[in-house]
Amino acid sequence: MTLKRQSQVFTKEEELHLAKYLEKASKLHHGLSSLCVRQLAYQLAIQNQKADEKICKWANNIASYDWFYGFMKRNTQLSLRVPEATSLSRSTSFNKHNIGCFFENLQKLLVKYHFGPEAIWNIDETGLSTVHKPKKIVATKGVKQIGKMTPGERGELVTACCATNAMRGYIPPFLIFPRKNWQDRMLNGAPAGTNASVFPSGWMTAENFIKFLQHFKKYTKCSVECPMLIIMDNHDSHISIESLNFAKENGISLSTIPPHTSHNSVWTTQSLL
């Protein structure tokens, strides 16, 4: 009982709200790991201004294991599940049950908000290398190795996050450069309206996803009165309290597709990118 009292940080209503979100995320094929739940709990505690000594003991901006196991004991409808291995998932995820669940959840959103085709958006990310793949060239027969100038030996990964709607409309791309500090010259020659951010690896993060949502709002003019639907892959990098609140406050509904099925179920994977 002592462990339970020490690990209690949120009110019953706050924990119930969090538990319902985790259940909904799982049904939408966006189940969160224990690490992500602990990160989400920390963000929620900061947002709700939990000035408690227990929060001070949470190191590295993440809730403690003590809190997590206490939370799971208090919410017995939740359990830790082991997902399928990736190789097995790729061959079995695109099935009638998983795709059926996705379209069932999608239909509920369409009925609730009456989205038109111009309000249904798909976002996808792709990695762009700064080194081009050389084409074949004419050279002397018998020479073992032929060289050609390239920007670098290995190049660097730049992530492009693109969005298009069911009317084939699109917004300017959002880029993530593999840098620690931003420089305006990074957008030299980019398409008009392109926005960007930085991260050492060049990957999408929760902090950059909120910037993308702000970029999305700027060009779609979405609002509570003019809601928009975003269909996307389920990446942990997209999830944060800040991004969820921003989406809710600006009329953005997020729907995630089942893991390892975008190659068959999303049109941007086959056409835009």
pLDDT attached to residue 240: 81
Distances from the Cα of 12 to the Cαs of 9, 152, 188, 207, 245, in angstroms?
9, 56, 51, 29, 20
Task: Using the Cα atoms of residue 80, residue 86, residue 87 and residue 88 in order, give the sign of their dihedral.
Answer: positive
How many of the other CB atoms lie within 10 Å of CB of 13? 8
pLDDT attached to residue 161: 94
Distance CA 259, CA 165 (A): 21
pTM: 0.69
Distance CA 12, CA 21 (A): 14
> Mapping DSSP to helix (H, G, I), strand (E, B) and coil, where does residue 172 land?
coil
Distance CA 34, CA 38 (A): 6
Distance CA 268, CA 124 (A): 7
Distance CA 262, CA 43 (A): 30
pLDDT attached to residue 263: 52
Distance CA 73, CA 33 (A): 16
Q: Find tokens 């590295």 and name the residue.
A: 60
Query: In terms of DSSP H, where are the helices of the chain?
Result: 2-7, 12-27, 34-47, 53-56, 65-74, 86-92, 96-113, 206-220, 241-249, 262-265, 267-270
CB 70 within 8 A of CB 7: yes
Task: Using the Cα atoms of residue 159, residue 163, residue 169 and residue 170 in order, give the sign of their dihedral.
Answer: negative
Per-10-residue mean pLDDT, the chain, length 273: 59 90 75 87 84 73 90 91 56 66 86 95 86 60 54 71 93 95 92 95 90 97 96 76 90 82 52 44
